[in-house]
Amino acid sequence: MALNIEGWLLAEAVRLAEEQHGRFTDDVSANALARTTQGDFADRLAVRAGALPDAAESRQDIRRLRRLATGLAAALLAAGTVAGWAAAQTALAARHVDALMALGALLGVPTAMLLLWLALFIGGRRQGHQGRLLGAVFSAVLNWSAPRLLRSRLAPQLVRSCFRLSLTGLGRWLLSSVSHGFWLAYTAAAMLAMALHFSLVQYTLTWGTTILEPQTVATVIEAIAWLPSALNLMPDANSDWIVAAREGAETEAVRAAWAQFLLAAVFLYGALPRLILGVLCGAMARYHARRPMLDCSLPGYLRLQDALAVTAQPGVDDDAAASPPPRARHRRAANAAGPPLLITVELEADVDTIGLPEVDAQFVGSVDTRAARHQLEAALGALDRPPPGLIALCSLLRTPDTGTAAVLSHMAEVADAPLLLALNDGARLAERGGDTGPREADWRRLADAIGAECIVLDRSDLDPSTIASVRRWLGDEGGKP
Amino acid sequence: MSLPLLDIGVVGHTNTGKTSLVRTLTHNRTFGAVDNRGGTTRTVSGVTLEADGTPLIRIYDSPGLENAPALLERLDRMGSQRHDGPTRLHRFLAEPDSRRAFDQEARVLDLTLTIDVILYVVDVREPVLEKYQDELTVLGYAARPVIAVLNFVAARDSREAEWRDALARVRLHTVVAFDARVRDFATEEHLYAKLRSQLDAFAPTLDTWLDHRREEERQREAAALLSIAELLVDAAAARRLTPVDRREQPIKSLRELRDAVRGREQVCVETLLALYAFGAEDFEDDELPLENGYWPDDLFAPETLRSHSLRTGSHVSVGAGIGALVDIGTGGLSLGAGTALGTLIGGATGVSHSLGPNLWHRWRGHAPVCVDDQTLQALAIRQTYLLTELKCRGHASTETVRGAHGGQTPDSELLRLLRKARQHPQWSSLNETFRDSHGRAKMMAGVTQLLTDGQR
């Protein structure tokens, strides 16, 4: 979808309101709708703004603003027409008219304003000076009329949006075309008034100079008249009718030539450039209006990037396997004898410190490597009688996994003995910033899955009750410690 | 020319931070589930990274490998195709009981056979165990480039050197240190550079993505600084009226002002958090202190007069200019009356605009109270601190960012600029007289520039 001026103004108003007061709390469905929109981020922003609860009222306000802007432009054109007519009336008020002064009076202000516009267009385009003066006029009128005219909750922000629109390329072209329209109306009305006066009234058109050489002024007149005469808008500029007007020896033909000179000069140097520029600016405004650009890098828009992002989720599988059910505990064999056996699982402690004090357990090896596992498996399988218990000293620093579970379960089966997981290193896990509670729970779940018992012990500060519970487990047919 | 879509698989042992890495790379804190427990991710899920609507990269998160030793033994027992890893994996996956016995591992192997590159995530706080080496061997059968991503390198008990040595021993030299809890664009760039070095065919894709990311980072920071600048200008120009006879105890006005500024600060905080894809729960701060106001009511103070004369001067010049045009239009017949009248009208308009409201309030017995320098300074420090924190916060981080509490150097140039803004109540969106204007935009650009310089 293409963003239009109405969408642009609404999106800007929403942005300005959210930057001022925070994000709308009721934007969930608007965001969802925006995410389904085909198009880029700017399109999604426009859709979101249009789907917010206040959008309908705001749109009505935008229509009011559009009518106000159209009315204002029409008023400016009317004012230009009146000003042009009045300027021509003033210049031709007396029957004896100084032609050069009249030309200056009619073309002076429009030419000065045209040069100013060109200077701002060329020099100030990057700074956004183009159309700034007229923009200020529009802004002042809007600020005055908005509280009287607009009714939606976003009314103040809509006024600000209009101001911001005047700073964009589209706004500048629009304001420029209105400005050229004003001066076109001015010069057209002046030409019409002059044509009317020259048709109905006989004027004495002269020129003169006090301090300049007459020839210099005549050269200037010839220069001004060159283009109109080249375009056949007036007779050839020759020294005869120029000198005749100077000496007051003018004939009807000379008077008509001077009248044509004035009309053609106002048309060529006043109306025509404005007509061309007006059409050009209008065409440019129309071009920009087809796709007004939202500045999506502004904080109010950029913050919505994640909320409006279309999240593609490729190749998702969602049939996760269920956790294995708890398994029955290993029972102690009837012919069990000897000390309980101790194995270690991925501990970081030195081998000398391995062992469970005050529990007479015999260390038989670790399960950390393939070779160690095979060695341990061989040792357990070679026992004459099963041990009363197999204690696996595990570290809470390790995350329990199915591999560890399978190995421990297999060792308990080979040893034909009940299995006890003694969890160590809780203090070190806490030092690392880890949460011991969930980790213990994970190990207990693993113990349940392989039919083992589980206790937590801190070897740096062994609790006597823990030792007692281990002893109880060893003497209690492999029941709960 | 369409760019090839790069598929990246993030694999590793259980609970090494795979999902955290995906979150940090995608800047999406809602992707998957992150918990300090094993088996949090049980399925393969993916996310597509797009630049200007063009999909460039797909990143897949995977369940953790949990039983690589048994899997490796099983694969080795299969005997044939010793030098054809992918065929061996296909055969294994086709066997009826393989998915039952190795559910998570089978999902990972399925993934590795369809992607372009493997990111193997290592928790470097762990010792180098044989089971991890088995995982690398199994992944090697997929015949895809593998890049080791060392997570938690900033931890006190990191064994980074030990891991680098171990990885080198299995001929894995493409290693990147990437702490998923920390968001550092330079590290992200480094990771993509490593990927580029491994994947010639995807170089244009990765270049495009990196360009996009750089622009995204620049835009994000610029937007954040603009947001802070807007807050500061709003706060500096904010004012409330209080009766002159209660100036010693302007409790109500100050409370109103404080509430307005706090509300505005909250909006700025929300904006910064949203810009960096975080939520309100990620930040916690004390309320902004505003005990004393600033009283700008001395109409004849040098700063006030300078501001008024500048504004009046600009009105005078506009009036004189319009008058001069009228004089030109009359061909000099008006004898300069237009210029003189324009000057007078411009001057009168300027004075009434700049001094009028103040004189009117004074006449009615009210004086304005503004936000004092100390509070403006505190606002600037709090917001720039938050921005600095957010810029390096990983999307897998679960700790809350705490607000700044002192320690920062006051920026005198920033305060000087904000004192100027104080003279323009129409620049603050917290005042009823608020108007957008070129002057406000210029002030905001100046404050943004100073904040940008400060960030550098």
Measured in residues, chain A has a length of: 481
Q: Which is higher by pLDDT, B301 or B7?
A: B7
Whether B155 contacts chain A with CB within 8 A: yes
According to the model, what pLDDT value does residue A241 have? 75
pLDDT level of residue B118 (50, 70, 90 thresholds) = very high
ipTM of the complex in this document: 0.74
Rounded to the nearest angstrom, the minimum Cα separation between B66 and chain A is: 5
- CA B88 – CA B157 distance, rounded (Å): 38
Size of interface A-B (CB pairs under 8 A): 156
- CA B432 – CA A347 distance, rounded (Å): 68
According to the model, what pLDDT value does residue B333 have? 63
Mutation for A interface: B438, B440, B444, B448, most A CBs within 10 A: B438
Least CA distance to B100: which residue of chain A?
A321
Q: Chain B partners of A406 at a C-beta cutoff of 8 Å?
A: 67, 70
Sign of CA dihedral B232, B233, B237, B239: negative
Mutation for B interface: A9, A12, A16, A19, most B CBs within 10 A: A19
pLDDT, chain A, mean: 83
Contact A403 B107 (CB under 8 A): no
Angle at B287 between CA B281 and CA B292, to 5 degrees: 165
According to the model, what pLDDT value does residue A190 have? 93
Residue A290 one-letter amino acid: R
pTM score, whole prediction: 0.75
pLDDT in tens, A371-427: 999 999 899 888 888 888 888 888 888 888 889 999 999 998 888 888 888 888 888
Residue A274 in this model has a pLDDT that exceeds 90: yes
Residue B261 in this model has a pLDDT that exceeds 60: yes
Residue A130 in this model has a pLDDT that exceeds 50: no
Please name the residue that has the structure tokens 């992944």: B139
Residue B353 in this model has a pLDDT that exceeds 60: yes
For the segment B24-43, the average pLDDT, to the nearest whole number, is 67
For the segment B180-208, the average pLDDT, to the nearest whole number, is 87
Whether A295 contacts chain B with CB within 8 A: no
- CA A262 – CA A103 distance, rounded (Å): 7
The region of weakest confidence among A64-68, B82-86, B203-207 is B82-86
| Strand-pair partners of B122 | B150
- CA B74 – CA A214 distance, rounded (Å): 113
Give the 3-state secondary structure of A47-110.
HHHHHCCCHHHHHHHHHHHHHHHHHHHHHHHHHHHHHHHHHHHHHCCCCEEEHHHHHHHHHHHH
Please report the DSSP string for A300-339 in residue order.
HHHTTTTTT------S----PPPPPPP-PPPPPPTT--SP
Residue A477 in this model has a pLDDT that exceeds 60: no
Whether B77 contacts chain A with CB within 8 A: no
Sign of CA dihedral B20, B24, B25, B26: positive
According to the model, what pLDDT value does residue B222 have? 94
Residue A21 in this model has a pLDDT that exceeds 60: yes
What radius of gyration, in Å, describes the C-alpha atoms of chain A?
47
pLDDT, chain B, mean: 82
pLDDT in tens, B372-421: 888 888 889 889 989 988 888 776 666 777 776 655 666 788 889 998 88
- Main-chain dihedrals φ then ψ at residue B176, nearest 5 degrees: -130, 135
pLDDT level of residue B290 (50, 70, 90 thresholds) = low
Whether A319 contacts chain B with CB within 8 A: yes
According to the model, what pLDDT value does residue A128 have? 47
Which conformational region is residue A61 in: left (phi greater than 0), alpha (psi within -120 to 50 degrees), or beta? alpha
Rounded to the nearest angstrom, the minimum Cα separation between A105 and chain B is: 5
Contact A300 B271 (CB under 8 A): yes
Q: Chain A partners of B333 at a C-beta cutoff of 8 Å?
A: 105
Whether B53 contacts chain A with CB within 8 A: yes
Residue B440 in this model has a pLDDT that exceeds 60: yes
Q: Which is higher by pLDDT, B297 or A431?
A: A431
Residue B231 in this model has a pLDDT that exceeds 90: yes
